[in-house]
Every structure is written in structure tokens, then in C-alpha cells.
Chains A and B, each alone.
Chain A
Amino acid sequence: MKSVHRTVASAALVASVALAGCSTSSPTYNPVLPFDPGEAHIASFNVNGDAVAGKAVALNAPADYSNVALSNPAIYAPGVSPVAAGVGGALGVLLVSAIAAGIESARNERINNFLYAQGFDAKKVFYDALRKELGAEGYAMNVDGEGAAAADAGLEVSILQYGYQLAPVGSGWAPVAVANVTAKSSAGDVLMKDTVVVSARGAVPVLAPGGSGVGGDALRMPVGDDLMFANVDEIVEGDPARSVEALTYALEATAAGVARLLHNGGIEQAAAGTAETGPAGAPTVGGAQ
């Protein structure tokens, strides 16, 4: 009888762990493309006006942007660990998820109430910074088609997440932002497709596809140690100017990253230098690793 119980319990455990395993979706393939305007001279971009669509979030899980390209910023699914699954089976998974979601929701509400009280305007911060940063790269910027002249190309920015996040190395909470960026010609050709991630130093892997060890695809903008917070209480009840400064940095660094991805030029055409070829004269290559 005991062995039957053990078998059932084991089966439940295995099923629970398997279920938890299913909750982790595999990274989605989304090749990045560097900016290449080709022969076109691009002096201005028309940027979408809804880049900052969501509210700030505060996540207590170490950054895992492995599936960020398809993530919906409005739907944060807390991670479910196999341990949690093992403890309570499938019901436990749901229970832990519900509790985690509830805590997460309450934390996000605190953060957003704080930002509202401070009069923080994430959209204004981002677009002002983007205009400045694109200007530094020599580009004019229209928003939603409104501008002095028609833009040469389109720029689609989607900030999937911004707010604060617990750094994985136990150094506290850091401002964070993730944005997908696509530039298209007026004919619709993709000129650039990439992702910008603003995250604490040492917070690796970011956007790691797993298995390769190379790391992520996204351009990573670091966050200095001076913008770290011990806990959420320090963010909402500490020095408000510093908390706002940290989030301002995350959005401004996102804008700087977008402009950085649109940097054009500086790639030298080298004239000198030759390679040696193989013994037979023709280049030969080794096998794949």
C-alpha cells in the first residue's frame, strides 16, 4: 500500500516538475540586423508615438529576457520553479503563481503610485531624450508623422518593460528597461532590427539564448552602482529624487541605445593587408566546432 502511495507521489512529483518545465518557453529566434541604410541618405526618422505604452513594473526575479522579443510587457508571468512545483504538485504551481502574481501586482501599484505622486512622465522623458540623442547622431525626428517635413525613414520603438528589477547578484534593485527597435525605409525595407536592454552591471546573462555561452543579442546599456536600491521601500520611501533619477536614467539610456544602433559610419575601408593562404595557395578552412 505504501509503495502505491510512493508511486503516486512520485508520479505527481514528476508530472509537477514536467508541468513547471513546460512553463518555461524556449527562446524565440529573432535575428538582429545592424543599421544599413544602403545608398539611401537618411536625415530624419518618423517615430511611433506609443513607444511607452505600459506602466512601470518592479520585478523581483533576476533578469531573464530570453524570450523578450515576443513578451507582452503588460502580462508578466512570474517564474514557477520546479521546487515549488514539487512541493505542491500542479495545484501548488497554480497557488504559488497566484501568490507571486498578487505580490507582484501590489509592488507595481506601490511603484506607480510613487511615480504618479512625483509627477513622473515616462513618455516625455523618453521622447525628449530620443530627440536629443537622434539629434546628436545628425537625425531630425518626427513623432507620428507630425513634423516640419516628411521623414526619410520610419523608426518603431516598443519599450517592453521599464521600472526597477532585483539584480541577480544580490546587489539590490536597479533601474531597468527593455526596448525592441526597428528602422524601416519608406519602401518598407528593414534597415535595422535590434533590442536595447538597460540593466545592472553583472546582470548576466541578458537575453541569453542558452547553450552557447556567448550571451545575449541585445545592446546592453549599463547601470551604475550609484543607482542601486536596497529594496522597494528605499525606492518608494527613500530619497524620491534619486528614485526618479534612476528611472529617468533607464529611459534616457534606452534612447541613447536606440541612437547608438542608428550610428552610421566609421567603418573603415581598409586598403592594406593581405592574408596568407594555405600551403596549396588557396584558402582552406577547418571544420565546424
Chain B
Amino acid sequence: MIPLNSRNSTAERTLAMKTTRVPVRALAGALTLLAAACATAPEPPPGPSLTYEPTLPCAPHVSVATATSLTPEDPTGRYDVITPVNASSSCLVGPVGTAEGYVAYAMPMSGKPVSISAGAIVEPGRMLAPRVFTLTADGQVARTFPRAEMMARGNALAVLFRPRPDERYVVVSADAAAVAGAAGAGETPLSPYSYEGKAFARVYFEDPAK
């Protein structure tokens, strides 16, 4: 037992020295780490993927078997889901016969979604060229949103829509035509279009105050 009330105690002085040294060491360690971090140049952001080589076989239709849920635990306010689209994503043979990675989102099962925004995140060196469409519960395409309907919102390129009663899924896929530039005549992308990048969906639930 260390007599903490004794100012002449050797044990106390030792403890005091230790407690003084530990922060100094910790500080030195932190500075070393900081210096090391500064010495390491950050990796440049990934550039656009202009070709797509999926690891999964490409299907002619969207599979909703592994759809990502847009149902939060608390279905109020906003709910965001961001999903990378890369070589290991689900693959679809798109309208121009090209393999395209995609993400299927299952619309909320609870709460009252008043609107949904879906599209691609704008990244520093690239962005997924987004194609967005909705599906019914039995997988029929309910709506496709033409590129002209996409808007720059914050740091995303997205369509905003009110979900209809028959719509159960919203799909964000790569748009091969946009990546190739065929559909982008006269269009300046917010970042170079890419087969890979980040898809997202944001659900706005009914404002409980209203």
C-alpha cells in the first residue's frame, strides 16, 4: 500500500516520477507516429475504371436475392447506404450488351419513405457512371430514370423520386454508354465516369413533425 498522504514517501516520489514519465513517453511516441504519418505520402485517389472485368458471372437480369436493405432500425429522418461497385459486385448485361456492376437496394419495409435519392458518389479521381431504375416485387422493371433526370446533389449525382406502391427495389448500375462517352456528348461529368466507384441510396422518411 503506497502512503499517498506522505509527501516524503519514496514510493510516492517513484510513483510521481513514473506518472510524469509516462505522458512524456506517450507524447514522444505520438510525435514519432505523427512524423511517420507525415513522411508517408497519401495514396492518390483511384482513377476511373474504363473497362470492367467482373469476378462473378454476368446475368441478363438483376438478382434481388442479395439486395441491400434500406430499412433502418429506426425508420425516421434520413437513412443512407453507400455501396462500392467493383469487380466483385453483382454483374448485369446492360442495355448495350456490356457487363455492368450493380447494386440492388430493397426499399424500406417499415416507416413511411416520402422520397428516395439514388445514384453515385462523386469521388476525387472518378465516379461511378450511374444508371438507376426500379423494380417491382416480382422483378419487373417499373421505372428507368433517363440520364437527363440526374442531378448534382451535394457530392453525388442522383435521381430523386417518390417511391410508388408497386416499387420494391431500386437498382444502381454502371452505365457503360456513359463510361464510353456515347451518352455524354456535351456533358461534363462531375468527375471522370467509371465502371467502378460508389453507389448510394438515401431514404427520406416522413418528417414526424408534420
What is the distance, in angstroms, from A101's C-beta to the closest C-beta of chain B? 28
Q: Are A219 and B153 in contact (CB under 8 A)?
A: yes
Q: Which of B7-15, B39-47, B64-72 contacts A (4 or more CB under 8 A)?
A: B64-72
Residues of B within 8 A of A188 (CB): none
| B154 & A278 in contact (Cβ 8 Å cutoff) | no
Min distance, Cβ A185 to any Cβ of chain B, angstroms: 15
Contact A275 B162 (CB under 8 A): no
The A-contacting residues of B in range 47-84, CB under 8 angstroms, are 59, 61-73, 77-78, 80-83
Does B152 make an interface contact (CB < 8 A)? yes
B139 / chain A contacts, CB cutoff of 8 Å: 274-277, 283
Complex: chain B residue closest to A261, CB-CB? B151
Interface residues of B, dominant DSSP: strand
Residues of A within 8 A of B31 (CB): none
On whether the beta carbons of A288 and B82 are closer than 8 Å, the reply is no
A34 / chain B contacts, CB cutoff of 8 Å = 115, 160-162
On whether the beta carbons of A283 and B65 are closer than 8 Å, the reply is yes
Contact with B along A91-123 (1 / 0, CB 8 A): 000000000000000000000000000000000
Q: How many Å lie between the Cα of A277 and that of B136 in the bound state?
A: 11
Residue among B83, B146, B151, B162 with the highest chain A CB neighbour number at 10 A: B151
Q: Is B205 an interface residue (CB 8 A)?
A: yes
Complex CA distance for A277 and B106, rounded to whole angstroms:
12
Look across to chain B and name the residue whose beta carbon is closest to the beta carbon of A215. Answer: B154
B193 within 8 A of A: no
- Interface size of A by Cβ–Cβ distance < 8 Å? 48
A37 nearest CB across to chain B (Å): 12
In the bound complex, residues from chain A placing their C-beta under 8 Å from that of B160 are 32, 34, 194
Closest to B78 in A: A209
Complex Cα spacing A30 to B78, Å: 9
Q: Is B168 an interface residue (CB 8 A)?
A: yes
Give complex CA distance A29, B210 in Å: 11
Report whether B77 and A277 are in contact in the complex, using a CB–CB cutoff of 8 Å. no
C-alpha gap A263/B149 in the complex (Å): 9
Contact status B78-A289, CB under 8 Å: no
In the assembled complex, the Cα of A284 lies from the Cα of B106 at a distance in Å of: 9
Cβ of B176 < 8 Å from any Cβ of A?
no
Interface string of A223-238 (1 = CB under 8 A from B): 0000000000000000
A276 to B59, CA, bound (A): 9
Q: Are A283 and B64 in contact (CB under 8 A)?
A: yes
Within 8 A of B (CB), among A259-289: 260, 263, 266-279, 283-289
Contact call B65/A32, Cβ cutoff below 8 A: no
Instruction: Give the docked Cα–Cα distance between A221 and B205 (Å).
Output: 26
Q: Which of B64, B78, B148, B207 has a CB less than 8 Å from the CB of A212?
A: B78
B158 to nearest A CB, angstroms?
A: 9
Closest to A206 in B: B154
Kindly report which residue of chain B lies nearest to residue A275, judged by CB atoms. Answer: B139
Whether A279 contacts B65 in the complex (CB less than 8 A), given A212-B78, A267-B146, A270-B142, comes out as yes
Out of A263, A268, A277, which one reaches B144, CB within 8 Å? A268
User: Does A277 contact B202, Cβ atoms closer than 8 Å?
Assistant: no
A215 and B156 form a contact (CB under 8 A) = yes
Residues of B within 8 A of A32 (CB): 115, 117, 160, 204
CB-CB under 8 A from B152, the residues of chain A are 219-222
Of residues 188 through 202 on chain B, the ones whose CB sits less than 8 Å from some CB of chain A are 200, 202
Contact of A36 among B59, B140, B162 (CB under 8 A): B162
Interface residues of A in 182-241 (CB under 8 A from B): 194, 204-209, 212-222
Query: In the bound complex, do residue B153 and residue A275 qualify as a contact, i.e. CB atoms below 8 Å apart?
Result: no
Most chain B CB within 10 A, of A29, A277, A285, A287, is at A285
B129 in contact (CB, < 8 A): no
Contact present for A33 and B115 (CB under 8 Å): yes
Q: A34-B160, A274-B139 known; A29 and B145 CB under 8 Å?
A: no
- In the A-B complex, the 9 residue pairs with the smallest Cβ-Cβ separation, listed nearest first, are A215-B154, A275-B139, A216-B154, A215-B155, A278-B65, A31-B204, A285-B106, A273-B141, A212-B80
Known: A277-B64, A279-B65. 5 other contacts (CB 8 A): A214-B200, A270-B133, A274-B140, A277-B63, A288-B72
**Chain A residues at the B interface, C-beta cutoff of 8 Å:** 29-34, 36, 194, 204-209, 212-222, 260, 263, 266-279, 283-289
Could you give 24 example pairs across A and B, Cβ below 8 Å?
Answer: A31-B205, A31-B206, A31-B207, A214-B80, A214-B82, A215-B122, A216-B154, A217-B153, A218-B153, A219-B151, A219-B153, A220-B151, A266-B146, A268-B144, A275-B61, A275-B141, A277-B139, A279-B65, A285-B106, A286-B67, A286-B106, A288-B81, A289-B68, A289-B69
